[in-house]
Structure 1
Amino acid sequence: MRRLLSIELFKLKQSRSAKILSIIYFVLFTFTALFATINFDFGSINFRIADQGIFNFPYIWHFNTYIISIIKILLAIVMISMITNEYSNRTLKQNLIDGLSKKEFILSKFYAIVLFSLASTLLVFVVSLVLGLIFSDYTEIGIIFSELEYILAYFVKLVSFFSLCMFLAILVRKSAFTLGFVFLIYLGESILGGILRFQAEDFLFIADYFPLNSMSNLIVEPFTRLGIVKSATAQINPDFVKDYTISLFKLIIPVIWTFIFVWGSLNLLKKRDL
């Protein structure tokens, strides 16, 4: 594992675009997290988002993982470029000639996916913990470390999404086309979900098994959990109920898709004439 991971890290160090995109991602990551701490002055009105309760424990775990996951596409581009460059630079063929097996090639990419996901997850945890300790109204140990399942869900979501990108990158071999395929899958799932919702509601549960939809279901939007939004929603729709919990079932579906994408990537590589 260490050998395969060191190979990938060496390749990433040689890629200027990968380094730039990674830096942009982590800068945006930090900016997105700290944006809420900025004071906005509008005449006599002084407003700071952090004072609205978004950094209260344990809500901050939900809020930050949801917001930061929006910019995961930047890391996905790094992953896609990392794979498609193997074809355009012919390094894949050279690696296989030098003795790297196709299984080891896929594993090296998957290890890199796990490493990037782990680094991003750790950063989310640290930043959220620091912001929560500064701004949260609740600092009891039991409250601070409750709902940490959102951190696990964030990690699973990244690994699963990046594994999908790896599979598509190996399938089409071109970065732009890979991103296009991701969008087409999202569009297709949205259309099928809409059809099920309006034409076959009894089968709407099937949409929960779609790859991107299952990843999205891991961390649902957190805004309706805020006190002010919850009060307004209750007045408009007293019957409004939403499930924010992360169940084992929700976690298992993206994990299964991850295995499918990794297995599919390996089989594509085995059957393809390089």
Structure 2
Amino acid sequence: MLRLLDIEFHKIKHNRASRILSLVYFGLLASIALIAAIKFDIGPVKFHLAEQGIFNFPYVWHFNSYMAAIFKFFLLLVIVSMMANEYSYKTLKQNLIDGLSKKEFILSKFYTVILFAAISTVFVFGVSLILGLIYSDFNEIGIIFSELEYLLAFFVKLVGFFSFGLFLGILIKRSAFAVAGMVVWLIIESIFKGFLYWNYRHLKFDASEKVDAIMQFLPLEAMANLIKEPFSRLGAVRSVAKQIGETVVKDYSVSILNIAIVLFWIAVFIYASYALLKKRDL
């Protein structure tokens, strides 16, 4: 495993675009801390976002993992460019000539995906812990380390997303087209979701449940379901909703079923990548 990771690290280290994108990605993860600096002073109204409870334990794990997942597209570019470069610079063929099997080649990419996801998760954990210790109103150990399942969901989400990108990179061989393929698949899922809503329109209020029950098994939708939006969970948002006669009823927990679905897709993408590479005459 370490040998395979060392090979991939060597390739990334000598690729300027990958280095820059990786630095930008982790810089953006760190920029979550800048949210604490957002202040609005409009006459007598003073608004400080950090004081609204977004960095309170354990909510900070939910909020930061959701926000950090938005930046995953930068690392996706690194993943797909890794595969594009293998074909462009003939390093894939050279690796196979040097004795690396196709299985080991795919594993080297998958281990890199896991490593990127793990480093990202540890990074988000560190940023969230620091922000929580500074701004949280709750500092009891039991509260601080509760709801850490959002970090697990974040890790699984990244591995799933990057595995999908790895598969597209092998399938299409060009980084720009691979990213475009991801966008096209997102559009396909969105169109299918719209079709389901139209198909179940006669059910009125039950239509959403029917649609969600079907859509949860599609890859990108399953990844999106791992960490649900955290904004409506804020006390301030709930207070406003209550004042206008609305009640926010939503399950924000990390579902074991959603994790299982994404793990299934990870296995599909990695196996499909291997099967595709094994079938090709390089």
With structure 2 as the length reference, what TM-score do the two structures score?
0.93
Deviation at 1:19, TM superposition (A): 0.5
Q: Of the candidates 210, 214, 225, which is equivalent to residue 217 of structure 1?
A: 225
What corresponds to 1:107 in structure 2?
107
What corresponds to 2:122 in structure 1?
122
8 Å Cα contact 2:157/2:262 also seen in 1: yes
Which whole-Å deviations, capped at 9, do the CAs of 1:50-82 have from their partners, x for residues lacking one?
111100000000000001100110011011111
8 Å Cα contact 2:84/2:169 also seen in 1: yes
Gaps of 5+ in 1: none
Structure 2 distance, partners of 1:210, 1:18, is 29
Aligned length: 274
Which residue type is aligned with residue 117 of structure 1? A
Structure 2 distance, partners of 1:236, 1:182, is 39
Which whole-Å deviations, capped at 9, do the CAs of 1:202-232 have from their partners, x for residues lacking one?
7421100010000000001000000111122
Stretch moving more, 26-35 or 184-193: 26-35
Structure 2 distance, partners of 1:219, 1:256, is 17
Which residue type is aligned with residue 241 of structure 2? T
Deviation at 1:48, TM superposition (A): 1.9
Deviation at 1:243, TM superposition (A): 1.1
Which residue type is aligned with residue 121 of structure 2? T
1:73 aligns with 2:73: yes
Where 1:47 maps in the other structure, the secondary structure is strand
Where 1:153 maps in the other structure, the secondary structure is helix
8 Å Cα contact 1:33/1:64 also seen in 2: no
Which whole-Å deviations, capped at 9, do the CAs of 1:215-256 have from their partners, x for residues lacking one?
000001000000111122234454542110112111111011
Structure 2 distance, partners of 1:122, 1:108, is 21
Gaps of 5+ in 2: 201-206
Pairing 1:139-158 to 2, within 5 Å after superposition = 139-158=139-158
Which whole-Å deviations, capped at 9, do the CAs of 1:7-38 have from their partners, x for residues lacking one?
00011100000000111111111113323234
Provide closer, same or farther for how the CA distance between residues 55 and 240 of structure 1 changes in structure 2, counting only shifts above 3 A: closer
1:233 aligns with 2:206: no
Structure 2 distance, partners of 1:79, 1:233, is 42
Q: Of the candidates 240, 247, 254, which is equivalent to residue 262 of structure 2?
A: 254
Which residue type is aligned with residue 79 of structure 2? M
Deviation at 1:42, TM superposition (A): 4.2
